[in-house]
């Protein structure tokens, strides 16, 4: 313990010694006659900001936990855990949140990807309640734009009993992503971890066949929203620039998973990347651009409210959450 | 522009050139016949987590903007603006948010400080609506514990027309803070910026005289909550440790204002500090302790949800927001 710290603790006195009283719950005292307390609930998971005249809403769909030791393929577990501990995250459980980006435009609401449908474990499926809290009727979602076809991004197309959840929406899909996962001939050429996507893509898009529009990369897919190719995480992984009134942001989808790992350390390869080398190359290019141009982003697996900026820091980067404001 | 960045942009194509179409709003298209959209509102500003069996709720009370150029007394405006820009904050307006910390205990709810009462400009006074959203009836707030007596921490004791807002609550005040601001003889010995506090303290606590309990520093003020002296920001500025079931956190009040400035740069002196040298010495001691012991904190002027950790980074520190979770 450094001397100045010891002095500081002496100066602060014994305030930080846990008192024995805490071992004796009876000393806490009995509840008095206050009004009955409702069971404390978490705040709804939505947040709004403006890009020009567009109102952007990020909406949380819950989370999925999995063991850290299965995530990174090119660093030791100890190295990964040291990074997580610097971010005050669990060193054993990778907490993977899902937050969707929606854009309210004069033509209706555009939603990017469509969440888990509550079909990826007990902590998923918060999207409907959070949309309700945000005052967004799902029938107002006229367009769903897909970044890629991993399970957590497309499963919400169908309910657990197979009904289309957004039957009125047009689905915009990147042409290379659609072509890759629609060709079952690619299945044996895919990493084992990725093979279940073929069946899931067929199943989830099945009831929507007449509502799917394939779009080329690097085009305006709806007014104010441009696609650009960012392959590696999947073969047709695609980012979207959202722009209005001279302002812009980018939905970066899974260019990086949690920023504490993959923005601080773009060199990390994740088991969830289809082609880790290509994913890293794309990640580095995109991070360089975002840091240089100071473009606001939203990310699907960023900590809620899942929007902010990329700051260059030495040879690497940091994610800086956008300032939270109580007014839009 | 570095070569690799130029190559990256060429690789990404022209997706980032703002298209001419955006200058012509008519091209955005007309609204179609979706259901009528409610006016988009910001999410309620509350967030919950547990410390042992206690449920902690941070609740936002809005914000107050003031010019950056009046804030820092020992660095140039250019230096301050460079720091703000690294955090993607305005270089001209200091956005000063107010977020209160409440602890739901078996004995009732303890609230730390009491906000602006909506009497510090049009962007303040969000506390009542956010308490309501959190399911907290103000009559359940049995105890208000004060860190110090600056305007934004005590004004909410009274409504704009002078009524006591929390007539049922016990007010716990640090003895040195109470003694200092109750003695009008100290007024001329105070920096000019601080002198209006004397009248405001007399006014705000007036209707509560029989409900005020002065407490010594470094004591357990209610079960599970310990005070300790952290002077400088004001003469009796006080922090509180909240502990239950072997877990703890610290409400650090104004030990640092916005972390982007004062955690990254503890050496900065702010016009709002009563004794800037003492404030800096306290800040350094507390930051050192928080970083070493990895203690969760909440801060009154931290970006909502205003809780997280202090990470040592070279000779300085960083604030790391706690991981947001959709379940408590």
Average pLDDT, integer, range B39-49: 95
Residues of chain A with Cβ-Cβ distance to B244 below 8 Å are: 22
| Band of residue B29 on the pLDDT scale cut at 50, 70, 90 | very low
CA distance A303 to chain B (A): 6
Quick check: B294 contacting A, CB < 8 Å?
yes
Quick check: B166 contacting A, CB < 8 Å?
no
- Reduce the secondary structure of chain A to three states and give it as a string: CCHHHHHHHHHHCCCCCCCHHHHCHHHHCCCCCCCCCCCCCCCCCEEEEEECCEEEEEEEEEEEEEEHHHCECCCCHHHHHHHHHHCCCCCCEEEEEEEEEEEEECCEEEEECCCCCCCCCCCECCHHHHHHHCCCCHHHEEEEECCCCCHHHHHHHECCCCCECCCCCEEEEEHHHHHHHHCHHHHHHCCHHHCHHHHHHHHHHHHHHHHEEEECCCCEEECCEEEEECCCCCCCCEEEEEEECCEEEEECCCCCCCHHHHCCCCCCCECCCCCHHHHHHHHHHHHHHHHHHCCEEECCCCCCCCEEEEEEECCEEEEEECCCCCCC
- The helix-helix angle for B276-293 and A3-12 (nearest 10°) equals 110
Quick check: A13 contacting B, CB < 8 Å?
yes
What are the tens digits of pLDDT across the range A152-196?
999 999 999 999 999 999 999 999 999 999 999 999 999 999 999
Residues B226 and B234: their CA atoms lie apart, in Å, by 19
C-beta separation of A242 from A103 below 8 A: yes
C-beta separation of B111 from B305 below 8 A: no
Which domains are present in chain A? 47-321 (3.60.15.10)
Average pLDDT, integer, range A116-135: 98
pLDDT of residue A106: 86
| Band of residue B206 on the pLDDT scale cut at 50, 70, 90 | very high
Tokens of A302: 């960023």
Sheet holding A108-112, edge to edge: A46-51, A54-67, A93-105, A108-112, A141-145, A170-174, A212-215
C-beta separation of A98 from A258 below 8 A: no
pLDDT of residue A36: 62
- Reduce the secondary structure of chain B to three states and give it as a string: CCHHHHHHHHHHCCCCCCCHHHHCHHHHCCCCCCCCCCCCCCCCCEEEEEECCEEEEEEEEEEEEEEHHHCECCCCHHHHHHHHHHCCCCCCEEEEEEEEEEEEECCEEEEECCCCCCCCCCCECCHHHHHHHCCCCHHHEEEEECCCCCHHHHHHHECCCCCECCCCCEEEEEHHHHHHHHCHHHHHHCCHHHCHHHHHHHHHHHHHHHHEEEECCCCEEECCEEEEECCCCCCCCEEEEEEECCEEEEECCCCCCCHHHHCCCCCCCECCCCCHHHHHHHHHHHHHHHHHHCCEEECCCCCCCCEEEEEEECCEEEEEECCCCCCC
CA distance B74 to chain A (A): 24
Note whether B47 contacts A43, CB cutoff 8 Å. Answer: yes
Other Cβ atoms closer than 10 A to A281: 16
Residue A39 confidence (pLDDT) above 90? no
From the list B197, B319, B324, B311, the residue with the least C-alpha distance to B258 is: B319
Beta bridge partners of A59: A46, A100
What are the tens digits of pLDDT across the range B280-300?
999 999 999 999 999 999 999
Chain B interface mutation, best of A4, A28, A43, highest count of B Cβ atoms under 10 Å: A43
Q: What does pLDDT average to over chain B?
A: 91
Quick check: B316 contacting A, CB < 8 Å?
no
pLDDT of residue B70: 87
From the list B236, B207, B248, B233, the residue with the least C-alpha distance to B300 is: B233
A170: phi then psi, degrees, rounded to nearest 5: -85, 135
From the list B96, B98, B94, the residue with the least C-alpha distance to B77 is: B94
Residue B5 confidence (pLDDT) above 50? no
CA-CA-CA-CA torsion for B235, B229, B58, A55, nearest 10 degrees? 50
What are the tens digits of pLDDT across the range A191-238?
999 999 999 999 999 999 999 999 999 999 999 999 999 999 999 999
Residue A52 confidence (pLDDT) above 70? yes
Angle at CA of residue B124, ends B118 and B128, nearest 5°: 60
Note whether B43 contacts A134, CB cutoff 8 Å. Answer: yes
Residues A313 and B111: their CA atoms lie apart, in Å, by 38
Chain B interface mutation, best of A21, A131, A324, highest count of B Cβ atoms under 10 Å: A324
pLDDT of residue A15: 38
Residues A190 and A34: their CA atoms lie apart, in Å, by 61
Residues of chain B with Cβ-Cβ distance to A16 below 8 Å are: 226, 228, 241, 248, 289, 293
B2: left (phi over 0), alpha (psi -120 to 50) or beta: beta
| Band of residue B218 on the pLDDT scale cut at 50, 70, 90 | very high
**Closest-CA residue of chain A to B39:** A135
- How many Cβ pairs closer than 8 A exist between chain A and B? 248
Residues A95 and A64: their CA atoms lie apart, in Å, by 6
Higher pLDDT, B196 or B15: B196
Quick check: A36 contacting B, CB < 8 Å?
no
Task: State the pTM of this model.
Answer: 0.90
pLDDT of residue B107: 86
Chain A interface mutation, best of B326, B327, B328, highest count of A Cβ atoms under 10 Å: B326
Closest partner residue to B48 among A38, A43, A294, by Cβ?
A43
Residue A86 confidence (pLDDT) above 70? yes
| Band of residue B36 on the pLDDT scale cut at 50, 70, 90 | low
- Reduce the secondary structure of B101-127 to three states and give it as a string: EEEEECCEEEEECCCCCCCCCCCECCH
Count Cβ atoms within 10 A of the Cβ of residue B287 and give its class: 0-12 exposed, 13-18 middle, 19 or more buried.
Answer: buried
Alpha-carbon distance values, A139 to B16, B34, B123 (Å): 31, 8, 33
**Closest-CA residue of chain A to B59:** A43
Closest partner residue to B292 among A5, A303, A326, by Cβ?
A5
Q: Are strands B170-174 and B141-145 parallel, antiparallel or unpaired?
A: parallel
Residues B113 and B306: their CA atoms lie apart, in Å, by 15
| Band of residue B35 on the pLDDT scale cut at 50, 70, 90 | low
Residue B13 confidence (pLDDT) above 60? no
* Residues 132-161 of chain A whose Cβ lies under 8 A from any Cβ of chain B: 133-135, 137, 139-140, 142
What are the tens digits of pLDDT across the range B107-123?
899 999 999 999 999 99
């Amino acid at each position: 313990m450094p001397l100045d710290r010891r002095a500081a603790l002496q100066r602060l006195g014994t305030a930080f010694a846990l008192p024995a009283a805490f071992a004796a719950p009876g000393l806490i005292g009995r509840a008095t006659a206050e009004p009955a307390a409702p069971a404390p609930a978490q705040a709804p998971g939505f947040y709004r900001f403006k890009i020009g005249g567009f109102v952007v809403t990020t909406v949380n769909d819950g989370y999925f936990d999995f063991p850290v030791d299965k995530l990174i393929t090119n660093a030791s577990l100890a190295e990964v855990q040291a990074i997580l501990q610097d971010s005050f995250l669990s060193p054993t459980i990778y907490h993977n949140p899902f937050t969707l980006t929606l854009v309210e435009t004069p033509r209706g609401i555009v939603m990017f990807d469509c969440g888990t449908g509550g079909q990826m474990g007990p902590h998923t499926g918060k999207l409907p309640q959070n949309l309700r809290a945000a005052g967004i009727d799902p029938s107002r979602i006229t367009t769903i734009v897909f970044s890629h076809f991993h399970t957590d991004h497309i499963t919400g197309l169908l309910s657990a009993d197979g009904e289309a959840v957004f039957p009125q929406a047009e689905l915009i899909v990147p042409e290379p992503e659609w072509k890759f996962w629609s060709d079952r001939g690619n299945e044996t050429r895919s990493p084992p971890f990725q093979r279940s996507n073929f069946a899931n893509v067929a199943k989830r898009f099945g009831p929507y066949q007449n509502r799917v529009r394939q779009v080329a990369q690097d085009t305006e897919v709806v007014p104010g929203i441009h696609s650009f190719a960012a392959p590696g995480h999947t073969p047709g992984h695609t980012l979207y620039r959202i722009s209005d009134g001279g302002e812009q942001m980018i939905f970066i989808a899974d260019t990086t998973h949690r920023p504490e790992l993959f923005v601080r350390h773009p060199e990390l390869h994740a088991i969830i990347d289809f082609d880790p080398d290509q994913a890293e190359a794309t990640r580095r290019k995109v991070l360089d651009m975002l840091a240089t141009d100071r473009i606001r982003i939203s990310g699907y697996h960023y900590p809620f409210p899942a929007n902010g900026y990329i700051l260059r820091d030495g040879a690497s980067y940091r994610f800086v959450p956008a300032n939270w404001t109580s007014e839009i």
